[in-house]
Amino acid sequence: MTATSPAPERPRVKLLPKANARALRHGFPWVYSNELVTDRRTRKLEPGSLAVLLDEAQTPMGTVAVNPTSKIICRMLDRDPQAVIDQAWFQARISQAFALREQLYDAPFYRLVHAEADGLPGVVIDRFGEACVVQPNAAWAEAHLEPMTAALAEVTGCTVILKNASGRTRGLEGLDDESLTLMGETPTAPVPVQMNGATYMADLTGGQKTGLFYDQRENHAFAARLVPSGGDVLDVFSHVGGFGLAMRAAGAGTVTCVDGSAAALDLAGQGAQASGFGESFTARQGDAFDQLAALAEEGRSFDVVICDPPAFAPSKQALEAGLRAYERIAKLAAPLVKPGGYLGLCSCSHAADLARFRNASARGIGRAGRRGQLIHTGYAGTDHPQLPQLAESGYLKSVFFRLD
């Protein structure tokens, strides 16, 4: 991109000899704190400062954002060490992301920016019609929020832009948890979102994350193909009814949604009413493990059971405990599936790779005394592109089994 103004003189930060400069040159976007020379000058940089990254031979590698307080001490923003990070720069990145989504979707409801994969490290932007919700989960993005917001409005034409500060990684970056309205009027009612034949209600100011989980859209569509006409479905960790409402729209007879959040279940119920099938919707609030056990005691069974829990293994330290939790969920859910029915299990834990998650799920099914055929593996939708060099960008896994 051609710079619109001269690049300012920037501090320079240098890789240690042990750092993997080749990986960075091939597209890996992060420098960890143990890979950088952290002298007094570097440690004094304000979180979110821009700098020129040098390799061991003092060769400039690009423009990076530096946060001396974070384990990810540098994030690569641009391969040009003279890049000007201004509104025009943001417009170029957002325009590229916008063009992809506009080609993929016929309505303006999608993840518009998926962080590193869209060239904006640590930034998530979800679009809800005329509103966008921004999660600036890195210090540099927080520091450049004004030009980013202006660029977002220019590219999309959105009249409402909200900042959501609930991201877990904001704490790791030393950022606050204050959510704000950056542009326009704060929404006072949930936004209806049409997906897979159902209507979902997204609370953009008080809901989980940005209000809706777009990443499961294509897995919702696959699950909907499994439902027999008039069948019974169970959606555990349902949030606003993601899987359940899609399956009901495809012809299921009844939908039971289980979640710990009364607010999320209320939104699921509103979505069911807006979709025209509120009479066949049932909500059960409570701990998912307890509810699965209670349903078994009641002798309930379903044609399709889906379990889409929060990240049980959000870090390497939590991996073993997380895998045990995934196994336990599978063990509790499998007995609720009718013979010949389907069990869908999901993980958004980037620390648990597909093989480990799939094996934990299969162990749980086996421990329940059931035998399953793995029929499909799903990932995040196409509005959540992956950066091939960054495994964390491919966090979502969904495995679907047909049980005997």
Cα 27 to Cα 390: distance, rounded to the nearest angstrom? 9
Contact (Cβ atoms closer than 8 angstroms) between residue 152 and residue 125: yes
348 an active-site residue? yes
- Write down the residue that tokens 């479905």 correspond to: 233
- Facing residues of 30 across strands? 75
Structural Rg of the chain based on CA atoms? 23
Cα 234 to Cα 264: distance, rounded to the nearest angstrom? 16
Of the candidates 132, 158, 257, 348, the residue annotated as catalytic is 348
Cα 370 to Cα 187: distance, rounded to the nearest angstrom? 47
Cα 388 to Cα 161: distance, rounded to the nearest angstrom? 30
Phi, psi angles (nearest 5°) of residue 321: -65, -40
Q: 10 Å Cβ neighbour count for 178?
A: 8
Cα 218 to Cα 30: distance, rounded to the nearest angstrom? 29
DSSP 276: T
Which helix (H) or strand (E) is 17 found in, with range?
Answer: none
Question: Residue 276 region, left (φ>0) first, then alpha (ψ -120 to 50), else beta?
Answer: left
Contact (Cβ atoms closer than 8 angstroms) between residue 48 and residue 139: yes
Among residues 351, 47, 358, which one has the least CA distance to residue 172? 47
Alpha helices, H only, 276-318: 288-297
Cα 234 to Cα 255: distance, rounded to the nearest angstrom? 6
- Residues with active-site annotation: 348
